Amino acid sequence: MGGFWRRIFGKSKAPAAATESTLATVDGASVLAVQATRAAVGLQGYELQRELGRGAMAVVHLARQLSNGHMVAIKRLSLQREFAAEDLADVRQRFMREARAAGHLHHPDILQVLDAGEAGEDAWIAMEFVQGKDLSHYTRANQLLPVREVVRIGARLARALDYAHRQGVVHRDIKPANVMLDLASDVLKVMDFGIARIADGSRTRTGLVLGTPSFMSPEQLAGLKVDGRSDLYSLGAMIYQLLTGHLPHQSDSMAKLMYQIANQTPADVRHYRPGLPEALALVLALSLEKRPELRYASGEQMAQDLEAVLAQPGLDAAAEALPTVDASSAQPISADSFAQTVRLNGLEAGQNPAAKQPKTKP
């Protein structure tokens, strides 16, 4: 195994085939490795198996790493299909920068990025494979997790985000579908760090950019520069949905939804679940503030407040008071197209004050 593989991944065996473009560390600096001299490159080092899922611009397969037999998840991004030809080179470079940044995140609740590269005009990323379901399976009013479990998950995610933000990495697409949970083993993983960033500043073939509106912060929807506090807004929206089966803002119209997120205060979470403690309602209200300077300054602060909620003796009683049910709650909230990744009209970027926030990587 080469020295850079040991430093990045700590694995005992080197891959049988070097990739065309992979993660490396040379003299402490992250750089793209030069193209290998061996004939076998890129995805030929993996045996793709069954499909695990697909999204707006990517498909994920279970794969076996040929060098050691380990099972991994391979996400293939269709950059050529989504982005204008003149932007492809920049998008690919941005993808590799983000993959390198994500590959340096080592946290028990963050899905580990193992490798990345290019396949023709498109790109791929190899990640650790974990069992379980993503949290979107627990957003139906009749399939919600226990209140204590939701709050505990929220605290763990806030702390994982705090770690990433201190490394200068912002997720930008926190939502239930990007968090994996295995109840049996208590494994929790935030997925897709950096993937949302590759569309920043580049237009798709239809002149649009990608995003998940229902979980986006007001500044992100407005096309402004974002920092870690935007992720905390998205986390607050996700916890709100996991507790109630409702999103903080919902509309059949994109224009109305964007207006609500920018201007309207969401209903108190106790409107849908009256038994929830006031302290929890206050945590969510703070995380969902319109102005980022009024939200939690860090994920650690949010995690500490959620842990204080967990310490309250009356929390378990809240589980007995189920959310209010209406005619629409029979369908999963995620069926709302705006709770999924969709194409949005690109807005002109501006500057968002970010005093005392960690500087994000370019």
289: domain CATH number is: 1.10.510.10
Phi, psi of 357 (to 5 degrees): -95, 145
Is residue 4 one of the residues assigned to a domain? no
What pLDDT does residue 307 have? 98
The residue range of the domain holding 317 is 133-345
Q: What is the mean pLDDT of residues 296-325?
A: 85
Model pLDDT for residues 144-199, shown as the tens digit of each residue = 999 999 999 999 999 999 999 999 889 999 999 999 999 999 999 999 886 656 55
Q: How many domains does the chain have?
A: 2
Reported residue count of the chain is 362
Query: Does 114 share its domain with 187?
Result: no
Q: What is the mean pLDDT of residues 85-93?
A: 75
196-210, 219-233, 335-349, range with greatest mean pLDDT: 219-233
What pLDDT does residue 99 have? 82
Q: What CATH number has the domain bearing residue 112?
A: 3.30.200.20
Report residue 343's pLDDT band, with 50, 70 and 90 as the boundaries: very low
Stronger pLDDT, 338 or 165, i.e. the higher one: 165
pLDDT surpasses 60 at 237: yes
pLDDT surpasses 60 at 78: yes
Stronger pLDDT, 313 or 176, i.e. the higher one: 176
Query: Does 148 share its domain with 215?
Result: yes
Q: What is the mean pLDDT of residues 45-53?
A: 91
Least confident of 39-48, 73-82, 132-141, 165-174: 39-48
pLDDT surpasses 80 at 123: yes
Query: Does 154 share its domain with 288?
Result: yes
Contact 23, 8 (CB under 8 A): yes
Give Cα separations from 334 to 60, 134, 140, 171, 340 (angstroms): 20, 12, 8, 20, 7
How far apart are alpha carbons 70 and 258 in whole angstroms? 43
Query: Does 31 share its domain with 71?
Result: yes
Is residue 351 one of the residues assigned to a domain? no
Is residue 7 one of the residues assigned to a domain? no
Q: What is the mean pLDDT of residues 2-12?
A: 41
Query: Does 232 share its domain with 301?
Result: yes
Model pLDDT for residues 260-298, shown as the tens digit of each residue = 999 999 999 999 999 999 999 999 999 999 999 999 999
The share of the chain scoring above pLDDT 90, in percent, equals 48
Q: Which residues contact 253 (CB under 8 A, 6 or more apart)?
A: none
Query: Does 200 share its domain with 298?
Result: yes
pLDDT surpasses 90 at 305: yes
What pLDDT does residue 182 have? 96
- Which runs of E-coded beta strand occur in the chain? 23-26, 29-32, 46-54, 58-65, 71-77, 113-119, 122-128, 133-134, 179-182, 187-190, 208-211, 342-345
Active-site entry in 87, 109, 122, 173: 173
pLDDT surpasses 80 at 56: no
Is residue 3 one of the residues assigned to a domain? no
pTM equals: 0.77
Contact 175, 236 (CB under 8 A): no
Cα 182 to the chain's mean position, in Å? 17
What pLDDT does residue 324 have? 64
What pLDDT does residue 2 have? 45
Model pLDDT for residues 15-35, shown as the tens digit of each residue = 333 334 444 433 333 333 333
Query: Does 73 share its domain with 169?
Result: no
Is residue 173 one of the residues assigned to a domain? yes
What pLDDT does residue 87 have? 73
Is residue 47 one of the residues assigned to a domain? yes
Q: What is the mean pLDDT of residues 223-246?
A: 96
Least confident of 93-107, 126-140, 335-349: 335-349
173 is catalytic: yes
Query: Does 34 share its domain with 84?
Result: yes
Query: Does 193 share its domain with 214?
Result: yes
Is residue 11 one of the residues assigned to a domain? no
Query: Does 65 share its domain with 198?
Result: no
What pLDDT does residue 268 have? 97
Query: Does 159 share its domain with 250?
Result: yes
Is residue 145 one of the residues assigned to a domain? yes
Query: Does 110 share its domain with 196?
Result: no
Buried b (16+ CB within 10 A) or exposed e, 144-163: bbebebbbbbbbbbbbbbbb
Least confident of 45-49, 160-164, 326-330: 326-330
Unique residue bearing structure tokens 């065309």: 20
Q: What is the mean pLDDT of residues 212-235?
A: 93
What pLDDT does residue 359 have? 55
Least confident of 13-17, 77-81, 229-233: 13-17
